Amino acid sequence: MFDNLRADFAAAAEDRTMETGFFRILMRVETPALVCYRFSSWVERLRIPVVRQLLKIPAVIWQRFNQMFMGVFISPDAEIGPGLVIHTAFSIYVAPIKIGSNCTLSMGILVGSGVRSVGDNVYFGAGCKVMGPVKIGNNVVVAANSLVITDVPDNTTIMGVPARIKLPGGRPKRFAWTGPQKSAATPRRPNEPRSNGNGNHSSEAPVKEPVSERSSEKAHV
């Protein structure tokens, strides 16, 4: 349990450069749900009869607390590898299935009990649903609001309702916790249309400066 938690905390601290340190990670809103799953899973696999029954009482209470206040339920019977990241701890349901290492769970996802297995390095986007006896390979990105009802091969980004669009490459784009970086303004080309500030470009031709009378007289001379 502690080895998995150590890997989970290390994965949670990858992108958040402004929130480094054990205690700052411990105070995040998604951390109690993560620790609850690891603790409950460890209790379910404990082989000491009396201790197992006693520890199941706080484990169940903790699970119900997460369900009521955050809507998060990760089955203690689920086998999830190290490096689990709960991106946003709201409306998450994971059935008792087998998931590999370095899995990322976003808000509003459902991974049903019929799923056969999920590989390593899988990113579940916000609002996605995985239903039926499907198998998800390694290095897979399930796009937001997608419905997966068929098998997904390795190194794939899948999207759609139902998810039928398969794109090569299954590594999610990582966003730094500090927000988007402001890039330097690039010079505008001479014939490039100007922007009106709303993201649109005006089709007006560039206005030429009027030629003064003195310059025209010099040209005749």
Q: What is this structure's pTM?
A: 0.73
DSSP state of 195: B
Structural contact between residues 76 and 95, judged by C-beta atoms closer than 8 angstroms: no
Question: Quick one: pLDDT at residue 27?
Answer: 80
How far CA 198 is from CA of 166, 177, 188, in Å, comes to 33, 26, 17
What letter does residue 182 receive in the DSSP assignment?
P
- Grouped pLDDT means (10 residues each) for the chain, 221 residues: 84 69 79 93 91 93 92 94 90 94 93 92 94 94 94 93 86 55 44 47 47 46 40
User: Quick one: 2-168 is in which CATH superfamily?
Assistant: Hexapeptide repeat proteins (2.160.10.10)
Domain edges within the chain: 2-168
Distance from C-alpha of 114 to C-alpha of 132, rounded to nearest angstrom: 5
